[in-house]
């Protein structure tokens, strides 16, 4: 039973707390593939930079939807 409990505690899940901002990298490029967001993860102090175009799982989160609702360029990435 202890092994089962230990395995359950080891699950690596990362929940998006909030999307902090968005930017293009490089800044001179406005191509969708160069669009990134800064993500604050629940239970972690650090933020990370995540690509938008290739990260469908991120785009499905409520935090991304909430942020994208205020940023027209990101609304096209919200799955229907």
pLDDT tens figures, 21-65: 999 988 888 888 999 999 999 989 999 999 999 999 999 999 999
Task: Name every residue whose Cβ is closer than 8 Å to that of residue 1 and which is 6 or more positions away in sequence.
Answer: none
Cis amide bond preceding 17, omega within 30: no
- In this predicted model, which residue has the larger pLDDT, 12 or 73? 73
């Amino acid at each position: 039973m202890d092994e089962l409990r230990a395995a359950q505690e080891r699950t690596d899940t990362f929940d998006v707390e909030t999307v902090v901002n968005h930017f293009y990298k490089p800044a001179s490029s406005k191509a969708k593939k160069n669009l990134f967001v800064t993500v604050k993860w629940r239970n972690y102090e650090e933020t990370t930079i995540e690509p938008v175009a290739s990260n469908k799982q991120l785009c499905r989160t409520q935090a991304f939807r909430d942020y994208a609702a205020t940023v027209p360029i990101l609304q096209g990435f919200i799955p229907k």
